[in-house]
């Protein structure tokens, strides 16, 4: 499974934005997102460049086990930092549970988009 739709939504882009950038149709982007069509290698690279991620990440192939030891340390540290920030925020927040969940989801999506 690829991460195209996830990255597009996290970056507030429309299928039209991506299609215009690549010189393709919106339908082609929809097919890529649904897995009905596979982009050519040069299209994968253009998409990865657009979102500032690697092609393997975009294709959903990069996992924790693929990271270098330094990458794993960074991933672990980032995970602990995010958990600590969430716990601190929940402890002192005046927001409702639903507002907290939405805020945390948005923060994590932003963090994952940045980290990728």
pLDDT tens-digit map of 32-78: 999 999 999 999 999 988 988 888 888 888 766 777 788 778 877 87
Count of beta carbons in the 10 Å neighbourhood of residue 7:
23
Count of beta carbons in the 10 Å neighbourhood of residue 49:
12
Q: Give the integer Cα–Cα distance in Å for 58 and 113.
A: 11
CATH topology classification for 4-58: 434 Repressor (Amino-terminal Domain) (1.10.260)
pLDDT-derived band at 17 (thresholds 50, 70, 90) equals very high
C-alpha neighbours within 13 Å on the C-beta side of residue 6? 19
**Using one digit for the tens of pLDDT, what is the confidence trace for 99-109?**
777 777 777 76
Q: Give the integer Cα–Cα distance in Å for 63 and 54.
A: 12
- Check: CB of residue 45 under 8 Å from CB of residue 71: no
- Check: CB of residue 95 under 8 Å from CB of residue 40: no
Q: Residues spanned by CATH 1.10.260.40 within the chain?
A: 4-58
């Amino acid at each position: 499974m690829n991460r195209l739709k996830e990255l597009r939504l996290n970056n507030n882009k429309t299928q039209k934005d991506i299609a215009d950038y690549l010189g393709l149709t919106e339908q082609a982007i929809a097919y890529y997102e649904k897995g009905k069509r596979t982009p050519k290698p040069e299209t994968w690279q253009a998409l990865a460049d657009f979102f500032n991620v690697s092609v393997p990440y975009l294709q959903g192939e990069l996992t924790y086990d693929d990271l270098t030891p330094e990458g794993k340390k960074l991933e672990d540290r980032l995970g602990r930092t995010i958990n600590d920030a969430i716990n601190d925020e929940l402890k002192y927040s005046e927001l409702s549970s639903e507002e907290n969940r939405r805020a945390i989801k948005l923060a994590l999506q932003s963090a994952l988009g940045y980290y990728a």
